[in-house]
Amino acid sequence: MPVTIYHNPACGTSRNTLAMIRASGEEPEVIEYLKTPPSWEQLIALINAMGVKVRDVLREKGTPYAALGLGDPKWTDDQLIEAMLAHPILINRPIVVTGKGARLCRPSELVLDLLDHPVTSFTKEDGERVTWPA
């Protein structure tokens, strides 16, 4: 199964995750979800594949989360998904899908156990060194 990353090139975590994927020898399908948001069905499928709650995929920082009052527990999952589709910046990133599963890769090294041939050592943009068992 190919590797897919729901990516925001303005996000350092997303860029590091993409670099780790490429360093592993994979050339993923890169979906810049701010330009090409997932459909309702795709977003539900991603959430289900990750085994998380809808709220777990909501991004607060740098988004209209507070202005929309999305922290209020009154919002249903369907309403939260509608908000994410109306404002894709609310979808936390990066989400990576491989044959081994799907995951929100925050921190970026969470991608490593989704890859067939993960790198054993990687230096992030900020200089942080990540090592992974061979």
Q: Which one of 6, 7, 8, 11 is the catalytic residue?
A: 11
Residue 15's nearest CA partner among 129, 107, 134 is 107
Token match 């790198």: residue?
Answer: 119
Catalytic annotation on 11?
yes
Catalytic sites, residue numbers: 11
